[in-house]
Structure 1
Amino acid sequence: MSQRLRIPRLKGNDYSEQAARQRREFLRERSGVELQHSSHYSLDPASLEGNTENFFGVVQMPVGVAGPYRINGEHAQGDFYIPMATTEGTLIASYSRGMRLVSESGGCTVTVIGEAMQRAPLFELSSARHARALSQWLDEHFSAIKAEAESTTRVGKLIDIQRWVVANKLFTRFNYTTGDAAGQNMTGKATHHACQWILAHFSGIENFSLSGGIETDKKHSHMNLLHSRGKKVVAEAVINKDLLRSLMRAEPERMVRLRQRTVIGSLLAGSAYNGPHAANGIAALFIATGQDEANVVESHTGLAFMDLTDDGDLYYSVTLPSIICASYGGGTGLATQRECLQLMDCYGQGKAHKLAEIIAATVLAGDLSLAAAVVSDEWVSSHDQLGRNRP
């Protein structure tokens, strides 16, 4: 490049309509694109500081609503209308269909089993014995380490430190609760502060990294299937066999038979989730409510289970061990995202568990609808009717 053309920025006033207009003009001059639609928005550019750099406009993502959905959670209780942002035709119709089936069968029971958010430092020492000594020392000094970590945050609490010695290295996972925030940045700051104290008080650490990779931030891992990252949530429902036949044109026995076979297919493929499509509902809810969309890759991991009851009804459950969501902070306070959270009474402090329950319940409804469409051979026809691409 003979000349590097910098993106315009206004020092001290970069989150303003003036700055956004300058960037749009800069892009128009270099691309010929007018950005007619991207430049229309109702939000205040000043509200984007801390969320977006070099702001010039918006991408208008269509948002639809699914429901009503009867949820019998410990935090989410009642009938909910679920905002879902997507460009995939049939998706919201399918989720609404599943929500009707579950609701008329008595609703979805949801339970938050546990929660944790991690940062995973790596310590390198002279030998495996020295690494073991540090592991034991962390146990002995946990109270002091906990105090150092928690001095950086109002709501974050250090639960424990998991440890693995490999060669002359100690891999750790500092596990926290983070209130109503997702907590990646919170735990990073807290762990960094705690580790500076460790480095100052334990001699012989030859190398240190704030991340040893074992937290698998924004990546799928078997580690987070076993040791939750985010909130571990179980959604379950018993589907009345007569309703399944009348609303979905599917038999409970055929649903279970399909699941037995798709489990084998999931194993062959090495899938992170053995149900139909957890990522669809999670992504649509994440985009609508201002979650970090990269966390879909962790949050969709899980285990689906299907069985027949003694009465011949269909039992279905979804266990999602790593739902990373927030009702406060990050993108949740932006104008449209906040409105979508408010539709479900999930904005603000004390609402993160409620949101996690709604997310898991939504996954269950979408799974049932898609599985029934496959069993009844309506999958392709539904997409032809509602999801056909237009010229």
Structure 2
Amino acid sequence: MTDAAALAARVREGELRLHELDDHADPDVAAAARRHLVESETDASLDAVGNYGFPAAAAEPNVENMIGAVQVPLGVAGPVAVDGGAADGEAFLPLATTEGALLASVNRGCSVLNAAGGATARIIKSGMTRAPVFRVADVVEAEALVEWVRDNVDRLRAAAAETTNHGELLDVTPYVVGNSVYLRFRYDTKDAMGMNMATIATEAACDVVEAETEASLVALSGNLCTDKKPAAINAVEGRGRSVTADVTVPREVVEDRLHTTPEAIAELNTRKNLIGSAKAGSLGFNAHVANVVAAMFLATGQDEAQVVEGANAITTAEVRRAEASAGSDGDLYVSVSLSSLEVGTVGGGTKLPTQAEALDVLGIRGGGDPPGSNADAFAEYIAAGALAGELSLLSALASQHLSSAHAELGR
């Protein structure tokens, strides 16, 4: 009996638990034992799952009870030219997806961006948030807590700073609902996505609040952060990076490359992305920003659940005409504004071998110089990719080519 089979038998007999296998074997053998157990208890064959290309030890910080790896096809779009505050020059965009035609669509958008001179992108606001909820007796105590926080931000900042060498508390915004007080802490987390950093730092700050006021901490997260859920506060106040990318595409490029007109795209965007989304009560006023965000998140080791916030975006489109002209000779201006894009180039899944290689494709793995510049550039590249995707899909819809394109690609 192999070591893996023997370990699986011990789990089956109740002598060991799945999570205890790592204490009795190296990570790869432990993973093999779990596969053996799952295969014996189900009708599944896990040969493909067990054929992964990195040491299981590399994934120990990222997953428990590992049995192998799920491989998602990885492609590249571009290169695309990006003039950003941190990103500069041409880059291939790594996208991991199982959705046929997505790469082709984004790639077409990238070629149009290049024909227009490239995309421009800027980080407008930055800061990871954590919002604990406190219980107070009544509105009088709530007001007292709000005033105390406003007068003692420096003390809270000092307490938070003791937990991290990289993060910095930027501000604390209070919100009162009856006898519940929410304090939305916002941090500069440099090149890390920073959720764990913000949580640990906020816990230290909460200790000060409880020691100095009448408030009692109910939970370190009161859902006003807001993490991994659709939320208007993220659309308005931002979370992670708020980034905008835009481009002005000459009319002849729209007509020759996209087979439609600036007027058709602008009207479609208004009726679909703006009015249609408003009627639906959507928090995302865009065509498919989530597609690019999700594909680049999977490729580069981001927290995939935060695609929820990353897709909180607004796409705009308008015809740009010279002031003296009232005719149909204008160019097409398109922008995408992502309000809460939570990304990092250090920590988490970015250390996994294949994800690290995808970050290398962009030239942004690890900490930037200055700190935070790599994550800023990453956000700008994602925004440019989202812009390419929006431009391509809107054009396909405006020209009535969407279904034919999928049919041609056999999707």
User: Which TM-score tier does this pair reach, normalised by the shorter chain?
Assistant: over 0.9
Q: 2:405 aligns with which of 372, 382, 391?
A: 382
Which deviates further from its counterpart, 324-333 or 72-81? 72-81
Q: 1:48 to 1:207 in 2, by over 3 A?
A: closer
State whether residues 235 and 339 of structure 2, in contact with CA within 8 Å, keep that contact through their aligned partners in structure 1: yes
Q: 1:133 to 1:372 in 2, by over 3 A?
A: same
State the one-letter code of the partner of 1:291.
Answer: Q
Q: In structure 1, what is the equivalent of residue 381 of structure 2?
A: 358
Aligned pairs for 1:120-135 within 5 A: 120-135=131-146
State whether residues 15 and 49 of structure 1, in contact with CA within 8 Å, keep that contact through their aligned partners in structure 2: no
Is it true that 1:103 corresponds to 2:114 in the alignment?
Answer: yes
Q: 1:12 aligns with which of 10, 23, 30?
A: 23
Q: 1:128 to 1:21 in 2, by over 3 A?
A: same
Q: Work out the CA distance in 1 between the residues paired with 2:19 and 2:289.
A: 40
Q: In structure 1, what is the equivalent of residue 393 of structure 2?
A: 370
State the one-letter code of the partner of 1:210.
Answer: L
State the one-letter code of the partner of 2:69.
Answer: V
Aligned pairs for 1:107-186 within 5 A: 107-186=118-197
Q: In structure 1, what is the equivalent of residue 244 of structure 2?
A: 234
Q: 1:247 aligns with which of 252, 257, 269?
A: 257
Q: Please, which runs of 5 or more residues in structure 2 have no aligned partner?
A: 1-13, 323-329, 369-373
How far off its partner does 1:366 sit?
Answer: 0.3
Aligned pairs for 1:193-232 within 5 A: 193-202=204-213, 204-232=214-242
Aligned pairs for 1:299-310 within 5 A: 299-310=310-321
Which deviates further from its counterpart, 4-13 or 112-121? 4-13
TM-score normalised per structure 2: 0.91
Q: 1:235 to 1:37 in 2, by over 3 A?
A: same
Q: 2:355 aligns with which of 325, 337, 349?
A: 337
Q: Please, which runs of 5 or more residues in structure 1 have no aligned partner?
A: none
Is it true that 1:28 corresponds to 2:28 in the alignment?
Answer: no
Aligned pairs for 1:271-350 within 5 A: 271-311=282-322, 312-350=330-368
Q: In structure 1, what is the equivalent of residue 74 of structure 2?
A: 63
State the one-letter code of the partner of 2:337.
Answer: T
How far off its partner does 1:355 sit?
Answer: 0.3
State the one-letter code of the partner of 2:251.
Answer: K
State whether residues 336 and 387 of structure 2, in contact with CA within 8 Å, keep that contact through their aligned partners in structure 1: yes
How far off its partner does 1:32 sit?
Answer: 3.1
Aligned length: 386
How far off its partner does 1:272 sit?
Answer: 1.9
State the one-letter code of the partner of 1:362.
Answer: G
Is it true that 1:261 corresponds to 2:271 in the alignment?
Answer: yes
State the one-letter code of the partner of 2:157.
Answer: K
TM-score normalised per structure 1: 0.96
State whether residues 125 and 207 of structure 1, in contact with CA within 8 Å, keep that contact through their aligned partners in structure 2: no
**How far does the alpha carbon of each residue in 1:160-215 deviate from its partner, in whole angstroms, 9 at most, with x for none?**
1101122122111011110111111111110011111221122x224532122111
How far off its partner does 1:33 sit?
Answer: 2.1
Identity %: 39
Q: Work out the CA distance in 2 between the residues paired with 1:224 and 1:14.
A: 44
